[in-house]
Amino acid sequence: MPPPTSKRSRYLPWLVIPLLGILILVLPIPARARTSVEHIFKIEATRFAYIPSIIRVNPGDRLTIELTSQDVVHGLAVDGYDLEIQADPGRTARLSFTADRPGTYRLRCSVTCGSMHPFMIGKLQVGNNNLLWRGAGLALLLVLAGVWRGYR
């Protein structure tokens, strides 16, 4: 990336970089077409952990979460879906919904369960994590933009 010399080469990156950025933001990321499937996830909640802590489904899948608490009352709220259940110790609570929004969402305990309660977190991954991929693409682009800007 030698220093730009002509006026055109000096200003061209200001045009190209935002255009590439827009492309990274709007271009669809290919995902395999699948028919929707029904899943049942048995999640054990114990102090400050969900087991399993990460569940993966495809967009459009129907999932049922069976939450069982192993110690105290725990909750499970799904970020971005505005859904919540609570499970008493030894009892199972169920939550069924269709995972129609692609992306990665945090599962959070919604009942105070101890000192690390605010940080009791799990993860629901629905299809591709487009935000992460687009973010990574933009990061790469911004490195080039940063080098160019600093160096010009």
Partner 1 sequence: MKAAEKVLSRQVRAEDQVRGTGKDRLDLARVPWLRPLIESRWPLFLARAVTLAGFFFTILVGLFGSPVGSHNFAIIFIWIAWWTALKLVFIPLGGRSWCSVCPLPMPGEWLQQGSLISKARKRLGLGLRWPKRLRGYWLQAGLFLVIGLFSAVTLTDPRVTAWVLLGLILLAIALSLVYERRSFCTYVCPIGGFTGIYAQTAPVEVRVVNTAICATHSEKTCYIECPWGIYPVALRDSSQCGLCLECLRVCPKDNIALNLRPFGSDLGTPRRTLRLDEAFLALVMLGSALAFSAVFTGPWGILKNAALAIGSLPWLGYAGAFLSLNLVVLPAAFALAVWLGEKASTRPASLRRAIANWSQALLPLGLFSWIAFTISFALPKFSYIINALSDPLGLGWSLLGSIEVMLNADRFGFAPFLQVAALLVGLYWSVSLIASLVKAETETPRAWRMAVPPAAFSLLYTLLMMGLLVG
Task: Catalog residues that contact partner 1 under the rule CB under 8 A.
Answer: 1-3, 46-51, 53-54, 79-80, 82, 103-108, 110, 112, 114-123, 129, 131-132, 135-136, 138-140, 142-143, 145-151
Q: What is the DSSP string of the chain?
A: -PPP-SHHHHHHHHHHHHHHHHHHHHSPPP-------EEEEEEEEETTEEES-EEEE-TT-EEEEEEEESSS-EEEEETTTTEEEEE-BT-EEEEEEE--S-EEEEEE--S--STTGGG-EEEEEES--HHHHHHHHHHHHHHHHHHHHHH-
Pick 87 or 145: Cβ nearer partner 1: 145
Q: How far apart are CB 66 and partner 1 at their closest, in Å?
A: 18
Q: How far is the CB of 103 from partner 1 (least distance, A)?
A: 8
62 vs 148, which CB is nearer to partner 1? Answer: 148
The minimum distance between CB 150 and partner 1, in angstroms, equals: 2
Nearer to partner 1, 39 or 81 (CB): 81
At closest approach, how far in Å is the CB of 35 from partner 1? Answer: 26
User: Max alpha carbon distance in the chain (Å)?
Assistant: 73
- CB 46 to partner 1: min, Å: 7
Q: Quick one: 38 or 51, whose CB is closer to partner 1?
A: 51
Nearer to partner 1 by C-beta: 91 or 135? 135
Contact 111, 86 (CB under 8 A): yes
